[in-house]
Amino acid sequence: MSATMTAADWVAFIDREYLAEFVPAGGAALKFGVRTDDGSIGALGDQLADAALARDLLVARVDAATTRLHLADQFLFAVAAQVDWAESVDRVIATFTSEAGLQAAAAGDEPLFRRLAAANDLEPEIIQMELRRAIGARVLKARRSSKDFRVAMTQLALARLSGGPEEHATFETITDWLTGRNRAVSAVKPYQIHARISRTNARYVFESMLLWIASAGHPRLVVILDISRLGIARNPRDGRPPHIEVGEVSLSRRMRSHVRRWIHEWDLARLYPGHRAQPRLTNDTGSWCCRCEPAGWASISRRRPTCSTSIAGGTRPSSDRRRIVRIGWVRRTR
């Protein structure tokens, strides 16, 4: 019989062994919690989030039912949407202000540099010049972060410092870029950002975000993943993100095989919305095959570095729908 513990004991163990000292000191860990009773996994996440917030850790919660966790950019967008970027910028500027020996600014509607000047009895231009120099040296030239992220944080800090009507527009545009709400590069080009966040650079942006969170004074970030969606025995076909069937196939196959199967299933559903695809995995000399039945037979085959979809046999669809779904480097197969 496997060893178990109550949810309260498990959260207390994670809090004592990881959240108290290990994570704030720079440690990283991946821990799994599996409920053996009928209780909701969300309740366990609530307890863990409360324990992390009590340690002043930044908490983000991501659910596999709403986020495609196998895509790095989608994971990043889900986490970035839960970060208070305005608060983090205020924390960074407050750090620069304290290190310069300046008093904190009082609340008000005027630009931040003017309120700081009034609190310290200095000229506003001197305060603005000093803080702009600190932002350039500590944010823009932070070489450990990716270039586009450094530029984005610099633009947010300068907008917060200067205030005015452009502050809101700058925050909205750049946070939309960080959270994936706006994928158009043209929206952020005026801020000297020349690339959108995709699967190719999402990892580096995520690492940069972790460094930024640490510089903002948060001890570290705790991400709570709810992957109970991936344990559903049967695909409910409700249009939500990927589903892995429980059984021998899902346990013996690599994640890449399931991801490719999901992509094929989504493409078939897009091409033939009126039909129900039923993919299944089969062994064929070390390769894999996913067969579906829309109108007639659709076969998806992979031969080493190639992958394609062809329509053959049965009732052939009309010519305008007889297409090849190409993913990566592909070639047509028999």
Rounded Cα distance between 307 and 302, Å, is 5
**Residue that is written with structure tokens 């480097």 in the block:** 329
Residue 279 has pLDDT above 60, yes or no: no
Q: Are 64 and 230 in contact (CB under 8 A)?
A: yes
Percent of the chain with pLDDT strictly greater than 90: 36
Q: Output the CA–CA distances (angstroms, integers) from residue 150 to 58, 140, 213, 330, in the order listed.
A: 20, 5, 13, 37
Residue 139 has pLDDT above 90, yes or no: yes
Residue 149 has pLDDT above 90, yes or no: yes
Return the closest-CA partner of residue 17 out of 31, 4, 33.
31
> What residues does 303 pair with on adjacent strands?
306
pLDDT band at 314 (very low <50, low <70, confident <90, very high): very low
Encoded amino acid at 233, one letter: A
Residue 171 has pLDDT above 50, yes or no: yes
Rounded Cα distance between 294 and 267, Å, is 12
Rounded Cα distance between 19 and 11, Å, is 10
Residue 78 has pLDDT above 50, yes or no: yes
Residue 289 has pLDDT above 60, yes or no: no
Residue 288 has pLDDT above 70, yes or no: no
HSE of 47, CA atoms in CB hemisphere, 13 A: 16
Q: Are 311 and 275 in contact (CB under 8 A)?
A: no
Please enumerate, as own/partner, the contacts of 180-189 that have beta carbons within 8 Å and a separation of 24 or more.
180/73, 180/74, 180/76, 180/77, 180/80, 188/152
Percent of the chain with pLDDT strictly greater than 70: 68
pLDDT at 205: 94
Q: Output the CA–CA distances (angstroms, integers) from residue 301 to 180, 277, 324, in the order listed.
A: 32, 15, 12
pLDDT at 239: 65
Higher pLDDT, 11 or 309: 11
Residue 49 has pLDDT above 80, yes or no: yes
* Spans of all domains in the chain: 7-81+220-229, 85-215, 247-321
* pLDDT 10s digits, 94-109: 999 988 888 888 888 8
pLDDT at 276: 59
pLDDT band at 169 (very low <50, low <70, confident <90, very high): very high
